[in-house]
Amino acid sequence: MGSKRLKAVVIKGTQGPPLHDRKRLVDLNRQTYDRSRKSQVAEARMKYGTPLTLNITHAGGILPTKNFQFGTWEKALEKIDSVGVHRHLKSHKACLSCFVPCSLVTEVQEGRYGRISVEGPEYETLGMFGSNLLIDSLPFILQANIQCDRLGLDTISAGNVIGFVMECFERGLVSPKETEGFEVRFGDELPALAALEMMARRKGFGDILAEGVKAASERIGKDSSRFAMHVKGLEFPAYEPRGAFGSGLSYAVSPRGACHRRAWPPAKEILGGYPPFTAEGKAEMIKDLYDQNCVLHSLLVCDMPAKFVPLSLEDYSEYLRAVTGETLTAADFLFIADRVETLIRLFNLREGLTRDDDTLPYRTLHEPLPDGPARGKSIGRENLDRMIDEYYACRGWDPKGVPTAATLRKYDLS
C-alpha cells in the first residue's frame, strides 16, 4: 500500500446485517459474558493486556533479545513487562461492544519525549522495540509505537529490521561511511527513531531497510543472512523458536512467512505442558492450531475470546446458527479449514514457492541459545525436516509439499 501512496481503504455500510435468531444470539452473548467473568485467564488479560505475554516469554526463554541472539532479558522485568506498563496505565479499552477489554491506554507524563499517551503498547511492540533492541525504556517504546502508527509502519517488522542493522553495525558489516554518517547500535534510542523516519521516507540508508530484513541482508551481504530473522521475507514476530520448536515449524510452513497469527504454539509449549525442545508431535499440534485459527479468521471473529473465555468450535457453531441459520458442526469447520490450507498451498505452488521456502534462518537452525531454559538448544536441520515431513503428511501433501491427487479429490480441488 505504501508504494501506491495509499493509507487505508474505508468502506462504510448503511444497513445492519439481518439476524436469524436474535433471542438466541442475546442468550449466547449472556452465557459467554458469564463465562468470561469466571475465567482467570480472561481476568488477567483484561487487567494487564498483552504485555503479560512478555513475562510468559521471558520465563519460557523465548523472549527475542538482541536480534534473537538471546531468549531472556532480566532488565525488561518491571520496566517494560506487564508490571512496568500497568504502572503507567491510564484506562482500559475494548473494541466496540466487546466485554473482554484487553487493550490498554498507557501514558507517561515526563521524560525525553514529554507526555505520551497511546493505546497499547501490545506485547509484540514491547518485544521488538524493547528486548530485541536492548532498550528498557517504556517512554521510548511508546514513542516508537506512535511513530510507526503515524508513518504506517508495522512495529514487528520495523523492530526486527532495526535489530538486524544494529547487529550489522556491531559486527562491522556496515560502517557510517557506507550510510552517509548514520549509525545505530543496541540500546540507541534516538538513532532507532531516526531509522523509522528514514525507512518511511526511503531516505538514505533507510531506502535499503524499507524493503525489509530479507532484502536488506541481500544488499548488505557478508553473511548477514545468517542473522536476518525472517521466513519467506516476513520478519520474525516476538517469539524465539529455539526455545519452542513448534514455533519454528509454525514459522517455516506458514504460507506468508514467519507469523504468530497463524498459530500460537506458546499456549501448548510454554503454558500447556508440551515438551518444547523436541520435534515429536509438533506436526499434529501445529496443524490443529492452524485449523482452529483458520476457522476463527474465516468467521471474521477475534481469537482473543476463544483463548481467554475460552470458546470452542462448538460455541462458534451455535453463534453461526443464531446469526445466519446455517448449521455447521465442529467437524465441518475443521474440514473447511483443511481445505482452505490446501487451497492456499496450491496458490503458493502456482506462484513458484516450494519446500525450499519452508525453512528457518541459519541462527535458528544452527546457533544454540546461550541463556535461559532453552540454553544450548537450536532446532537443527534434522528436526526441522522431520517436522515438515510429518506436517505435510498430516495435510495429505507429498514430501515436496504438493497436495496428492487423493487430497485434491477429497476437497473437490481437482
72-119 pLDDT, tens digit per residue, is: 999 999 999 999 999 999 999 999 888 888 899 999 988 899 999 999
Of 234, 261, 282, which residue is a domain's last?
Answer: 234
Closest CA to 270 of 45, 55, 41: 55
Q: Are 258 and 401 within one domain? A: yes
**Residue ranges in the chain whose pLDDT is less than 50:** none
Q: Are 108 and 224 within one domain? A: yes
**What is the predicted pLDDT for the residue at 348?**
98
Q: Are 61 and 106 within one domain? A: yes
Kindly state whether residue 23 falls inside one of the protein's structural domains: yes
Kindly state whether residue 3 falls inside one of the protein's structural domains: no
**What is the predicted pLDDT for the residue at 304?**
87
**What is the predicted pLDDT for the residue at 71?**
97
Q: How far apart are the first and last CA of the chain?
A: 34
The rounded distance, in Å, linking the Cα atoms of 196 and 126 is: 16
Q: Are 25 and 81 within one domain? A: no
Q: Are 191 and 204 within one domain? A: yes
Kindly state whether residue 4 falls inside one of the protein's structural domains: no
The rounded distance, in Å, linking the Cα atoms of 87 and 352 is: 49
Q: Are 245 and 291 within one domain? A: yes
Output the furthest CA–CA distance in the chain (Å, rounded): 69
| Residue 393: domain span | 18-48+239-414
